[in-house]
Amino acid sequence: RGEPRKTGISRFSAEELMVCGLKSATAEGAIRELADAMVANRFVSNAGALVTAAMERESILSTAMGDGIAFPHVRGVEGGGLTIALGVSKDGIPYDDSGTKVNFIFFSVIPVAVSAFYLRLMAGLTDAFSKKANRDLLMAAKTQTELWKALTKTTRSTIQ
């Protein structure tokens, strides 16, 4: 109350959920870093369970897309809202059995009530980051604040 209404990506994420330099060299480690950021900032409560669920999902079908982007996610989470954390790896992380390297990992936690909306959100992110200029803006960010500003700028027209 008293705060301006959030719009765009800020309805689902926050500057505190931006990780400029992922330290891990594995998909599981990177997802853990993002889940830990969610827990540290009180968006979720059990990082370990989220990582396990995300990796089980990845074992069925990799969420690595083209252009060095992956969208790991956990659906059916009770309580809380749709939450997205973004991690960037300048060197790229081998993400799946085929050795696909990703530089951008958008980790999402999706409550049951918003599963259908999540698909529209992913379509907006995919559209925004199919453009090399937008990926370059994320890659150029050196701080959490710069990464957040780049994310909000690049998704302004694709996520309403």
pLDDT digits (tens, 9 = 90+) for 45-77: 889 999 999 999 999 999 999 899 999 999 877
pTM score: 0.88
pLDDT digits (tens, 9 = 90+) for 23-48: 999 999 999 999 999 999 988 888 99
Residue 49 has a pLDDT of 92
pLDDT digits (tens, 9 = 90+) for 76-118: 776 668 899 999 999 999 998 888 899 999 999 988 777 678 8
105: Cβ contacts below 8 Å, ≥ 6 apart = 22, 27, 30, 31, 34, 69, 70, 72, 86, 87, 88, 89, 93
